[in-house]
Chains A and B, each alone.
Chain A
Amino acid sequence: MAGITIDRIKKTFGAATALAEISLEIADGEFLALLGPSGCGKTTLLRIIAGLETQTSGRVLIGERDVSALPPKERGLAMVFQNYAVFPHMTVYENVAFGLRMQKADETTIKREVERAASLLHIEPYLDRYPAKLSGGQRQRVAVARALAVRPAVLLMDEPLSNLDALLRLEMRSELKGVLQQSGTTTIYVTHDQTEAMGLADRIAVMHGGVIEQIGAPQTIYERPATKFVGGFVGSPPMNFIRMPVAGGRAALGGFSAPCPGAKSEIICGIRPEDMRIALGRSGLDFKVSVAEPLGSTLLLTGKVQDQLIRVAARPDSGLKAGDIVALEPEAQRIVWLDSETGRAVGA
C-alpha cells in the first residue's frame, strides 16, 4: 500500500506537448480516475507512472520513494491493459502466477496467492484453460487477477473495460469496485467513459490537452465543474451553456433573471439538463422544442433559447413534443457561472 505523488511531470514528443507540468497527489488506498477524451494525455501519464514511458521532466514518487528513474519492475506496481495482454501461450493459472514467478516466490505462496486472486475474480473454474478459450470478460478477469496476485502497492488500469460490450461492462464495473475496495489497493484508472469514472472513483482528475482541468469527488465534478470543458465532458447529455448579458450584477435573458458574480457584461450560465424546471404559466427562458426523445426515465428535449442550443431532461409524462414553446426555470442554486472568455467558473 502506498500513496503516489506526481511532481511537475512534463512530457513532450518533439514539438508537441503531451503533458504540461502535471502535479497530483493520490492518497494511500485511494481510487483515482484519469478522465478525458482521447489524446488528452491520460494514458501517457499512466505509462509514465508505470515506467513504460520516460517523462521529459518531473518526478514520480510511490510511497515516498522516488521511482522516476527506475524500470517498471522496481516500482512495485501492477497494471491491467486495455487489450488485457493475457499471455496466450500460458494457462490462466500460469498467467495469474506470472508476477509471483518473476519475484521468485515459492510454489506454496504462488498456489495460495493464485487461488486467492482467482476466487476474488471468480475464475477458479478456468485455471487450467488457455486464454483463447475464454470470453472477453473472462480474459479481463484474468488480467485483473494477475495484477492482484502480486499484492501490488499500486494498481494501474488503462481503459480496462472498453473492449467489453455494454452489459458486461456494467457488470464488471460494479464487481471491480467491490474487489478493489476489499483489497484497498491504491488505483489509478484511465478512462474516457465518464460514467465509469463517476461510478468507480473516489476522486476524478479530468484531463484536457495535457493539463488537469479539475480534480475532485465525482459529485463535485458533476455539480460544480471548474471549467466549461469539464461541464461539457462529464454528464450525458452534457451541461448546457447559455450566454447571458449582465447588467447591474444580474444576468438576464428573456423572462429569466438571476444575480451573478463577476463584473463583465456577459456571462455563461452552466446548467444541467435535469436542473431546469418547466415553468407553466410563469416567466422564464423561452424554449422552443425541436426534438423530443423519450428515454424511458426522462424525456430528452432538444431546442433553442434565443438561438442557443440547449437540452432539457423533462419528466417522461410531461407530454411535450416538437414545436412546443415553454418557459424554463433553471434552479438557481444548481447554476454554475462561467467566464464568457476563459470558460472558467467564477464566484462560488
Chain B
Amino acid sequence: MTNSRLLPYLLIAPSVVFLILLFIFPLVQTIGLAFTDQGGASLGNFRKMVGDINFGVSLRNTFLLVAVVIPLQIGLALGMAVMLQKMEKGRDLVLWIWTIPLGVSDLAAGLVWLSILQDRGYLNSTLFALGVIDSPTNWLSYENPTALFVGIVLAEIWRATAIVLVILVAGFQLIPKEYFEAAEVFGATGWTRFRKITLPLLKPSLQSALILRTVLAFEVFAVVYALGGRNFPVLVGEAYTWMRDNQNDGVAAAYAILIMVISLAATLVYIRLLRTKPEAQA
C-alpha cells in the first residue's frame, strides 16, 4: 500500500530535482543578482542597463526581428503544411528534407549563412561570376544595416521555420478530412475553406507554434552574433557582452530578467488572443 502510494512521487523525483537544480535555483539566483548592487537591494543594475547606449538599439532590433521573422515563418510554414497535405506521394521525403535545418545548431546555421553572405562568400562569388557586381560587396557591415538585417532574417527563417512546420503538420493530422470535404460540398472555395475551416481548427497548434517560436525569437543570439557580431545588437547579445566583456553579472542578470518578462508577456498575449472556448473544441 505505502509503496504504491509513494511510487509516483519517486518516479517524478529525478525530474523535480533536475528542475530545481538547473532551473529554479539559477532563476532565483538571477533574480537575486539583478536586484542587488554593491551588497544591497537596489534597482541600480536596471538603471545601468537602461542608461547604456546599446539598450534602446538592442531592444528595438530584437522586437524588429520578432515582428518580421515570426509572421513570415508562420505564413511560410502554413503554406508548406497545406502543400504537404495536398501531396499524395513523397510527402514524408519532402517533410524530412524541409526539417533538416532543425538538426543544425543555431551557431552552425549562422556560420552557414556567414559563408554565403560574407565579402568572399558564395553570394558575392556568384554575383561576380554573373557580372552583376564589379567587386565584392560587404553585406554584413554596419554600413549596410538593411542588408545585414535581411541576412539575419533569412538565416533565422531558414533555421527555425521547420519547427513551426512540424507543429502545424501534426495539427493538420488531427483534423478529420471530412470537415474539408463537407465545406467543399457546401460550396466553400479553397480560400474560404482555409479561412473558415483550416485556420480555426488549427488554432491550438498555431498557438503552440507561436508561443514557442516567439519565446525563442526573443532569445535570438547565435545567428546574429555569427553574422553581424555587435553590429546588430540584440538583448541576449547585450547580456552576453555585459557578462563576458564588462564582467558585470548584475546588468547581465537584469537583461535576462527583461527577456523573461517580455517572453512571459508575449505568451500571455497569445493565450488570450488565440483562446479556443472549451465548448468550441473538437
**CB contact between B185 and one of A52, A82, A129, A133 (< 8 Å): that residue:** A52
B236 contacts the other chain (Cβ, under 8 Å)? no
Q: Which residues of A contact B186 (CB under 8 A)?
A: 73, 78, 98-99, 102, 146, 150
For chain B, give the interface size range.
Answer: 20 to 34
Q: Which residues of B contact A90 (CB under 8 A)?
A: 280
Query: Of residues 85 to 138 in A, which have CB atoms within 8 Å of B's CB atoms?
Result: 85, 87-90, 98-99, 102-103, 129-130, 132-133
B192 x A85 contact (CB < 8 A): no
In the complex formed, the residue of B with least CB distance to A52 is B181
Q: Which residues of B contact A103 (CB under 8 A)?
A: 187
Q: With A83-B176, A85-B181 known to touch, is A132 a contact of B188 (CB < 8 Å)?
A: no
A89 x B183 contact (CB < 8 A): no
B201 x A77 contact (CB < 8 A): no
Determine how close the nearest CB of chain B comes to the CB of A103; give it in whole angstroms.
Answer: 6
A99 to B183, CA, bound (A): 8
A251 contacts the other chain (Cβ, under 8 Å)? no
A81 to B182, CA, bound (A): 8
B184 contacts the other chain (Cβ, under 8 Å)? yes
Q: Which residues of A contact B188 (CB under 8 A)?
A: 73, 98, 102
**CB contact between A133 and one of B176, B182, B189, B279 (< 8 Å): that residue:** B279
A151 to B192, CA, bound (A): 21
B197 x A71 contact (CB < 8 A): no
A87 to B201, CA, bound (A): 9
In the complex formed, the residue of A with least CB distance to B179 is A85
Q: Which residues of B contact A78 (CB under 8 A)?
A: 185-186
B184 x A73 contact (CB < 8 A): yes
**Interface size of A by Cβ–Cβ distance < 8 Å?**
27
Chain B 262-282 interface mask (CB, 8 Å, partner A; 1/0) = 000000000000001101111
Q: Which residues of B contact A77 (CB under 8 A)?
A: 185
In the complex formed, the residue of A with least CB distance to B278 is A132
A89 x B276 contact (CB < 8 A): yes
Q: Which residues of B contact A72 (CB under 8 A)?
A: 181, 184-185
Query: Of residues 176 to 196 in A, which have CB atoms within 8 Å of B's CB atoms?
Result: none
In the complex formed, the residue of A with least CB distance to B199 is A89
Q: Which residues of A contact B197 (CB under 8 A)?
A: 87
B281 x A88 contact (CB < 8 A): yes
A267 contacts the other chain (Cβ, under 8 Å)? no
**CB contact between A81 and one of B178, B192, B277, B279 (< 8 Å): that residue:** B178
A79 contacts the other chain (Cβ, under 8 Å)? yes
A79 x B281 contact (CB < 8 A): no
A73 x B187 contact (CB < 8 A): yes
Query: Of residues 200 to 235 in B, which have CB atoms within 8 Å of A's CB atoms?
Result: 200-201, 203
A79 to B179, CA, bound (A): 12
Chain B 167-187 interface mask (CB, 8 Å, partner A; 1/0) = 000000000101101111111
Determine how close the nearest CB of chain B comes to the CB of A77; give it in whole angstroms.
Answer: 7
A50 contacts the other chain (Cβ, under 8 Å)? yes
**CB contact between A102 and one of B178, B192, B203, B276 (< 8 Å): that residue:** B192
Instruction: Give B contacts to A, CB under 8 Å.
Output: 176, 178-179, 181-189, 192, 197, 200-201, 203, 276-277, 279-282
11 further A-B contacts with Cβ under 8 Å, apart from A78-B185, A81-B182, A130-B277, are A52-B181, A52-B185, A72-B181, A72-B184, A83-B178, A89-B201, A89-B280, A102-B188, A102-B192, A129-B279, A150-B186
